[in-house]
Structure 1
Amino acid sequence: MRTFYKIFKWLSALAFAGLLATLIAAAGIYYYFAPQLPDVETLREVKFQTPLRVYSADHKLIAEFGEKRRTPISYVEIPEDFIHALQAAEDSRFFEHFGIDVKGLFRAALQLASTGQIQSGGSTITMQVAKNFFLTRERTFSRKFMEILLALRIEQELSKEEILELYINKIYLGHRAYGIQAAATVYYGQPIKDLSLAQLAMIAGLPKAPSAYNPLSNPKRALERRDWILGRMLSLGYIDQQRYTDALAQPVTASYHGSDIELEAPYIAEMVRSELYQQYGEDLYTEGLSVTTTIESRLQQSATTALRNGLLAYSERHGYHGAEHQYDISNLSNTERLKLLKDTTTFGGLTPALVTGVDKNSATLLTENSGEIAISWDGMRWASPYKSVNYAGPAPKQASDILAQGDLVRVIHSQDGWQLTQIPKAQGAFIALEPQDGGILALNGGFSFALNKFNRATQAYRQPGSNIKPFLYTAALENGFTPASIINDAPVVFHDVSLESNWRPENDNGTFGGPTRLREALYRSRNLVSIRLMRALSIEKARDFILRFGFTPERLPQNLSLALGSADATPLQVVTGYASFANGGFKVDPYLIKKIESAEGEVIFEAKPLKACPECSYATRDNPDDAAPQPGIQYSDTEGAAPRIITPESAFLIYNVMQDVIKRGTGRRALVLNRGDLAGKTGTTNDQKDAWFSGFNQKLVATAWVGFDQPAPLGRREYGSSAALPIWIDFMRDALEGTPESAPSAPEGVISARIDPATGKLAYPGQSDAIVEYFRADQLPKEHAQSPEEKLAPPTAEQIFGFSG
C-alpha cells in the first residue's frame, strides 16, 4: 500500500510538473506570438471588396464592374436552414465553443486515422475567420498557433452573430462568387432567402473545396457532399425525416448565372466607369459603390430598339453584302456545326446562323439557341446584292440567289417570324435629355457596344449640317429679325479669304425661292437664306451667339460655311443646345450620375444640376463662376437656377418656327405621331455624309445621327429626313405615349397678327390668304400689304416725286 502511495505521489508530481511545463511552454509561446497578433477590433470596421454597380434611375441594374462578385448581407438575413447546414458541414458546436472545438479536433483526428480523410475539418468557423482575414494559407505550426490565438481573441471581442456574418460574406465559393448571397445568385439566379433546403445545403458544401464540390464543374461530387450535409442535419436534429427525404430527392438544379443585368446600356456603363475611375482608380472595382444614373429604363430600351431598327432599315435599303463566311459543312456533324456558331459573337441582337439547306423560296438554318429554323421568301426577298451606296443589283428571284449551304449569316426574329439580316456598315448615335436640367434619359453610342466600343454620342465630332441653323436663326431673332422678315433666296458668289476660293453655295435641291420669309426659310432649310442671315449679323456676332449653346470654340469655323453646319460637334453637344429651345431659353449642362452610395448605403455624392427657372428673376451681369463677362447671358440670384441664354420672346418664337419644320417642312414624317407640340430640325451635310434629326417638346429633347465612322456618302436619297428622322419618330412614339401635349404659350411680350405671306407685312383688310404670325410686341410690322386694287391703281405724285401737292 505504501509502495502504491509512493508511486501515485510520484506520478502526480510528474503529471503536475508536466502540466506546469506545458503551461509554461504555452505561456512562453503565447507571449512570443502575442505581440505579432493583429488587432481583432479592426474586424468591426472591415470593408468587403465588392464590385461597382451601376443602376438606372428606376433601379434597374445596368452593369457590375469588379473581379469579385459579392453582395454582403447581415446576420438577420441569413436563412436559419443555411446556418444549420453550415454548422453541419463546418462547425456543429459553433454556438457552444469558445473559438476552439476540442471535440471537433479529436473527431477530425479520429476520421483521419480511420478513413484517411477528414470530412468535418478541425478548424472552427472562428478559426477560419481568423485565417481568412489575418493570416496566410501556409501550413506551418506557427501559423496554426496564431490562428488559434486569434480565434480566442475574436471570440472575446465579437459576438457569435458578428463572427458568422463575417464568415458568410468573406468565403470564396467558386465562379467569382464571394459570400453566400453572391453564390446564390451565381448558381441559382436567386437571393439566398429564396433557395430550397437542398440548394442551401449545396452552397454550404462549397467552403471546404469550391472547385472539388462545385455543382457546375463536379455535379456528382457536389451531390455527394450535399447529401452528406443533409444527413448531418438530420442526425443533429436540425431537420426532420420528411424534410430530409424531400431534400434528398431534389436533383442538382445549379446553372451559371452571370451578373443579373436588367437593362442593356453598355455605353452608359462605360461612361460611368471611366468618369469615376479618374477619381477612385483601381479601388473603384472593390469599394462597393452603387451609382444611380439619370437613365430611364423604358426610354433606354426604346432608344436601343429605335437606333438598331433605323440602322438595319438603312442597311437593307442599300442591298445585301453577302454571307460573313462560307464553310464546307457537308461532312460536319451537328455538334461541329454548333461549335462554329458558338465561336461567333452575337451583335445587337442579330443571331448568327448557319445555312443548312436552300429551297426555291425558303431556307433552313441552324442557330445555337433555337436549333433549326426556317426563313420564308418574305424574310429574305429584300436582299438585292449590294453594289454601292447608290446602287443595288437586280432583285433576287429565288432563295439560291441569296443564300448557299454553309453560309454564316445573321437572322433576327420578329412578329412575322425569322428574317435574314446583316450587321449594318453605317453607324449611328441617339441621345435623349430632360431639357429642364440636362439629365441624360437615354443614350446609345452605336449599333452594338460588343461590335465597337467607340461612343459616337459623346466622342464623334461630326458636321451637324442644317441642324445648326436654328441657333443661327435664334441669333437673328435676338438681333432685329422676325419670323416674317424677308430674305432673298437667290444665287450668290462669295470670295472668302479664309476659304481661299470663290464659293457658290446652293440649296439642297438646286432651286431658288426668291424673297422668302425667315420662318419658311427655316422649315424648308434654305441654305442661301442662312448665309445671308450670317452676313447680316456678321460672322463674329453669329458665331459668338452659337457658342452660348455649349459648342467647342476651336471646332466652329470663323467663316460663312458655319451657316451651313461646317462646324464639328458631338450628338451630345447638339442635343444639349436643342434643350435650350425646349426649356424656354436656359443653358443646362448634361449629366449622367444622379447619386453615388457607399457599400454601407451612405450617400457620398448627389447631383445638383442647374435647372431652367422661368419664374426666377434674371439680370445681365458677369458670370458668378467666372470673372469674364459673357454678353447677352443673364444670371439669377436664385440658387440652382440655370443661366438664361435666349430671351423668353425669342425662345418662344424659335420653338414656334421649328414646329413648322414638322407641320409643313423637312420633318413632315413626324406628323405620324399626331402631336401638335413637337418641334425640330433635320440636318444633312455635303454628299450626305451625316444625317441628323433633333427634336423636342417641353418635356423631352432627343437627337439622332447616322453616318459612317470614316466619313463617306450615305447614298442617294439618304437625308436627315430619311435616315435619322425615322429613328427619332420610333423613339418618340414610345417615349410620349400617354403623355399630354406640352407646347409653350406665348409670353407677355409676344403678340400675334395676320400678315401677307408674300411680303411679311400686315395683311390688308379682308385678305383671304393671310396667315397668323407671332412678333415681339415692339417689332410688329408698321405697314400693310397692298390689296389687288391698290396694286392696280396709278401711282400718286407722292409715290413718284416723294412729295404731295
Structure 2
Amino acid sequence: MRKKNAGALFMDFHVSPDDRVGATPKKGTRSERSAPAKKVARGARIEPGFSDGDIHVDDERQERAPRGKTPRGRAPKQKKTRGRRERRPVTLFGIIWKMISWLFIIGIWGALAAGAVVVYYAVQLPSADTWKVPDRAANIRIVAANGQLISNRGKTGGEAVSLRELPYYVPAAFVAIEDRRFYDHFGIDVVGLVSVALESLQAGEVTRGASTITQQVAKNLFLTPDQTLGRKVQEALLAVWLEQNYSKDDILDLYLNRMFFGHESYGIEAASQRYFGKSARNLSLGEAAILAGSLQAPSRLNPKGNTEAVKTRQGLVLAAMAKEGYITPAESKAAAIDPNQTVRTKVVGGESYVADWVESLMTAYLGEVKQDVIVHTTINWDLQKEAEFVVKEAVAKYGTDKGFSQGAMVAMDVDGSVRALVGGVDYQASQYNRAVTARRQPGSAFKPFVYLAGMEKGYTPDTIATDGPIDINGWQPSNADGKFGGDMTLRQALALSRNTISALLANDVGPDKVVEAAMRMGISSPLQAVPSIALGTQEVSLLELTAAYAPFANGGIGVIANVITRIETADGKVLYDAVAAGPGRVIEPNIVAEMNDMLHAAVEIGTGKRAQLNGWPMAGKTGTSQKARDALFVGYTSRMVAGVWLGNDDDVGTKLSGGNVPVEIWSQFMTKAHEGIPVAELPGAMTQPGFEQQPLQPMEQPQAERPRRTLVDLLGDIFGGN
C-alpha cells in the first residue's frame, strides 16, 4: 500500500508472516524473485516508506547535493571486494633491506651535513697558501768550560733533538701509545675513530681520544686548546695538509720537540733534562715509556706527579710497545722501573744564577735570539759546585747564631774569566742574584781604592799617620772598636782597617780622585764623591768589586768580568768568539807592588788573618757595613780572585764581620781551587823563597823613587798647612 506525504516516500515497516525469522520464503515466480532493483540516480535521496519496495527520487535534493560529496543520509558506498590484494609476509631479508635503504639515505644526508660543516669552518681558516709551520721558540743551551750542561734557557726549556739522535725505542714508545697506525693513515685515523666510537657507546662515555699524532701536532702548532666542533674540524684539515707536505719522520720530529710534558718543559729534551737529569739521547726504555705516557695528562702523569698513576701508565706503554712488536714481552717486563727509586729529578742549583746572568747578556752579544744556540762559558763545573757547597754550608752552620740567611760568591781568574758564581743559597726559593744584581755597601773592602789614590799621589805603605779623633766639616768618623791606635804606618792602618786614617787619606787626595781610581779599576756603579766614600758607603755589586781587585793580582791590567767564550748554532756555526778585551794597564807596576804589600799585611796581621791557603802568597781586604748588614771579604792570589758576601735581603743587621765567616768560606773554596797548582808569588812581591819576612815596622826613610810624606804633611794638606 502506497501513501504520499509531502513528496516523501514512507516505507512500510509491517512485518508479514513470511518475513518472520524461520519463516519459509514465499514462493513466487522467478521473474518476481529475480527482478532487478530500480537504479537510483546518483545523489538522489531515498526516503523510507511503507510500500512494497517502490522508490521515489527527490529531484530537488538531487539538484542541491554538492557534486563530488556524499549527501547527508546517503548510505556509504560499499567497498568492492573483487580483486582484493593480500599482504605479503614480513621476512628478515626485507627488514635488512629496509634498514640498509634508510641507512643509505641517512648517510647521504649526513654526508651533506658534514660537508657543509667542513666547508663552513674551512673558510674561516687562512688561505692554505699562507700555511707554514711556525718556528720553534729558540733555546739557549748554556754549558760549562768542559761542556757540562748548566741550563737550558728560553720558552721551551730545552733544545730540539732530531729523530735520528734518539734511541729507536723513544719514538716507538710514543707511536705505540698515542697513534699505533701513525705510519698507515693520512692524518686522520678513520679506523681508530670507529673503534673509539664503538668503545664509547658500549661504555656509555668517551673512553679515550682519537686524535692522531698528526692532529696533535696541528693543534699544537696552529690552534687553541678549545674543545669545540670548529676546532676539531680545522684540526683535521690541518692534519691532512701536514701529511701532504711533510714526511712521517718530519711530523714525528715536530711532535717530540713541541709537545708539553709539564713543569714548563716543551719537547722531549727539556722533559728528559727536567725529570731525569740527562739528555733524551741517553734515555732508557723505562724512562722513555714514562715520558710517552705522560702526554695524556702532563700535570698528573709526569714523574713528579702521582707515582702510582705514573707507574700504571708506564706499564700500559710498555705493553703497547710489546703488542706492536717494538720490543719483546721480556723486554717490556724488564724495563718497568719504579719512579720513586730511579727517576732522578734534576735539582736546580746555584748554577742557575750563572744561567740567568748569561741569558741577560745574550741581547748584547746577538740581539734577538731566533734559533737554537749553544753558549760556551768560562765556568769551571767542579769549582762551581764547590762554591755552591761552601756558601750553603756556611749559612746552614752559622746563619741562625749570627743572624744571616743569604750568601753570594764570585771567583774569577786574574784575567776576569769567571769560574764560579753563586747568587744565593736556594735558587728555587729566590732567583734574585746577589752576586750580579744586588748593590750593597762594601764597607772597608772599598778602602784599597782610597789607598791606591794615596799611593798614586805619593804616599807609601810606610807613611806614618795618626789614628785619633778627627772632624771633617762636621763629620767625625770612628773606628769599629771605638778606640784609637795612635801613630802607625799606612800599611798597618789598612791591615787593621782604621776608619779615621782612611777618612784622612781620602780627604787629602780628594773624594773625586778616589772615585776615579775605583772606576778605573773596574767599579761601574754610580759613585758620589763625598767624604764618607772612604768607608765604603757607596753601593756596588759583588761581581764588579771582585773584578776591581783583579789588577792587584795580575800586575796592574784592568779586566772586564766575562763569562761567555763562544756562541754557536746547533749545527756548529760560530756566531761569537771572545777576544781579549779590557782597558789595559790601570796601575803602574810599582804601585801594584805597594798595594800588594799592604793587602798582604791585611791577611797576615790584620782583619783577614784567618785566611789560610796552604803556603800560597795571598792578599785581600775584609769589609763590614754599618750594623753589620753586610759582611765581605775579597782576596786573591796570582792565580785567582774571589769575593764573598753574607747578609740578609731585608738589610737587618747581623753578628757577622768580614773577618770571620766570609774569610772561612773564601779559604775553603780557594784551597780547593789551588789544589795541584804550583805556588806563585804576587806581582811585585818583596819576598822570595827562603826569605823570612820581618814584622812590619814604621820606616824612617821614604822610598828612593818618591819623596816621603809624613803625617805632618798629611795633616798640613788637610788643614791648609805648609
TM-score normalized by the length of structure 2: 0.66
Q: Report how far residue 247 of structure 1 moved.
A: 1.7
Q: Does 2:663 match 1:575?
A: no
Identity of aligned residues (%): 33
Match for residue 297 of structure 1? 381
Of 672, 675, 694, the residue aligned with 1:734 is: 672
Rounded Cα–Cα distance in structure 1 between residues aligned with 2:287 and 2:629: 57
Distance 1:75 1:642, change over 3 A: same
Match for residue 415 of structure 1? none
Distance 1:125 1:650, change over 3 A: same
Q: Report how far residue 154 of structure 1 moved.
A: 2.5
Q: Does 2:629 match 1:651?
A: no
Distance 1:135 1:698, change over 3 A: same
Q: Does 2:516 match 1:544?
A: yes
Provide Cα deviations, 1:68-110, integer angstroms capped at 9, x if missing partner: 6555321213433344444444444433444455555555556
Q: Report how far residue 178 of structure 1 moved.
A: 4.0
Which letter maps to 1:479? K
Q: Which one has a larger percent strand, Structure 1 or Structure 2?
A: 1
Q: Does 2:644 match 1:704?
A: yes
Of 332, 346, 356, the residue aligned with 1:260 is: 346
Match for residue 620 of structure 2? 680
Rounded Cα–Cα distance in structure 2 between residues aligned with 1:171 and 1:644: 53
Distance 1:312 1:43, change over 3 A: same
Match for residue 98 of structure 2? none
Q: Report how far residue 678 of structure 1 moved.
A: 0.9
Rounded Cα–Cα distance in structure 1 between residues aligned with 2:649 and 2:265: 39
Rounded Cα–Cα distance in structure 1 between residues aligned with 2:309 and 2:631: 60
Rounded Cα–Cα distance in structure 1 between residues aligned with 2:244 and 2:173: 25
**Which SS does the other structure have where 1:721 is aligned?**
coil
**Which SS does the other structure have where 2:411 is aligned?**
strand
Which letter maps to 1:81? Y
Distance 1:228 1:63, change over 3 A: closer
Provide Cα deviations, 1:696-718, integer angstroms capped at 9, x if missing partner: 12221122334555667655xx6
1:688–1:714: 8 Å Cα contact kept in structure 2?
Answer: yes
Distance 1:470 1:43, change over 3 A: same
Match for residue 512 of structure 1? 485
Which letter maps to 2:379? I
Match for residue 134 of structure 1? 222
Provide Cα deviations, 1:334-357, integer angstroms capped at 9, x if missing partner: xxxxxxxxxxxxxxxxxxxxxxxx
**Which SS does the other structure have where 2:599 is aligned?**
helix
1:86-101 to structure 2, matched below 5 A, reads: 86-101=174-189
Distance 1:52 1:43, change over 3 A: farther
Match for residue 257 of structure 2? 169
Q: Report how far residue 432 of structure 1 moved.
A: 2.2
Which letter maps to 2:644? A
Distance 1:25 1:116, change over 3 A: closer
Query: Structure 2: any 5+ residue segments left out of the alignment?
Result: 1-104, 709-722
Of 447, 456, 467, the residue aligned with 1:469 is: 447
2:558–2:582: 8 Å Cα contact kept in structure 1?
Answer: no
Query: Structure 1: any 5+ residue segments left out of the alignment?
Result: 1-16, 319-423, 612-639, 763-774, 782-805
1:50–1:70: 8 Å Cα contact kept in structure 2?
Answer: no
Match for residue 432 of structure 1? 411
Rounded Cα–Cα distance in structure 2 between residues aligned with 1:452 and 1:162: 40
Q: Report how far residue 647 of structure 1 moved.
A: 1.5
Match for residue 80 of structure 1? 168
Of 658, 661, 664, the residue aligned with 2:602 is: 661
Q: Does 2:555 match 1:584?
A: yes
Rounded Cα–Cα distance in structure 2 between residues aligned with 1:432 and 1:729: 12
Distance 1:730 1:544, change over 3 A: same
1:56–1:295: 8 Å Cα contact kept in structure 2?
Answer: yes
Match for residue 5 of structure 2? none
Comparing 261-270 and 595-604, the one that deviates more: 595-604
Provide Cα deviations, 1:525-561, integer angstroms capped at 9, x if missing partner: 45554455445534544443344334468644433x4
1:61–1:262: 8 Å Cα contact kept in structure 2?
Answer: no
Distance 1:669 1:38, change over 3 A: same
CA RMSD of superposed structures (Å): 5.0
Which letter maps to 1:726? E
**Which SS does the other structure have where 1:303 is aligned?**
helix
Which letter maps to 1:482? T
Rounded Cα–Cα distance in structure 1 between residues aligned with 2:208 and 2:625: 74
Which letter maps to 2:412? L
Rounded Cα–Cα distance in structure 2 between residues aligned with 1:296 and 1:43: 46
1:325-724 to structure 2, matched below 5 A, reads: 424-425=403-404, 427-436=406-415, 438-449=416-427, 455-458=433-436, 461-484=439-462, 486-489=463-466, 491=468, 493-494=470-471, 496-497=472-473, 500=474, 503=476, 508=481, 510-514=483-487, 516-534=488-506, 536-551=508-523, 555-559=527-531, 561-592=532-563, 611=580, 640-670=581-611, 672-684=612-624, 690-707=630-647, 714=654, 719-724=657-662
Comparing 162-171 and 55-64, the one that deviates more: 55-64
Distance 1:481 1:288, change over 3 A: same
2:143–2:377: 8 Å Cα contact kept in structure 1?
Answer: yes
Comparing 520-529 and 465-474, the one that deviates more: 520-529
**Which SS does the other structure have where 1:133 is aligned?**
helix
Which letter maps to 2:242? I
Rounded Cα–Cα distance in structure 1 between residues aligned with 2:511 and 2:316: 84
Distance 1:267 1:70, change over 3 A: closer
TM-score normalized by the length of structure 1: 0.60
Rounded Cα–Cα distance in structure 2 between residues aligned with 1:266 and 1:661: 34
Rounded Cα–Cα distance in structure 1 between residues aligned with 2:321 and 2:627: 76
**Which SS does the other structure have where 1:478 is aligned?**
helix
Rounded Cα–Cα distance in structure 1 between residues aligned with 2:117 and 2:106: 16
Which letter maps to 2:643? T
Rounded Cα–Cα distance in structure 1 between residues aligned with 2:412 and 2:499: 28
Rounded Cα–Cα distance in structure 1 between residues aligned with 2:303 and 2:429: 33
1:90–1:125: 8 Å Cα contact kept in structure 2?
Answer: yes
Rounded Cα–Cα distance in structure 1 between residues aligned with 2:394 and 2:310: 49
Which letter maps to 1:571? L
Which letter maps to 2:666? W
Rounded Cα–Cα distance in structure 1 between residues aligned with 2:307 and 2:479: 73
1:309–1:727: 8 Å Cα contact kept in structure 2?
Answer: no
Rounded Cα–Cα distance in structure 2 between residues aligned with 1:431 and 1:701: 8
Rounded Cα–Cα distance in structure 2 between residues aligned with 1:107 and 1:81: 26
Provide Cα deviations, 1:671-707, integer angstroms capped at 9, x if missing partner: x323242112233456666543221122211223345
- Larger C-alpha radius of gyration, 1 or 2? 2
Distance 1:154 1:687, change over 3 A: closer
Distance 1:74 1:695, change over 3 A: same
Provide Cα deviations, 1:109-151, integer angstroms capped at 9, x if missing partner: 5655667688786554334433443345666776555544434
**Which SS does the other structure have where 2:557 is aligned?**
coil
Q: Report how far residue 157 of structure 1 moved.
A: 1.8
Rounded Cα–Cα distance in structure 2 between residues aligned with 1:275 and 1:642: 20
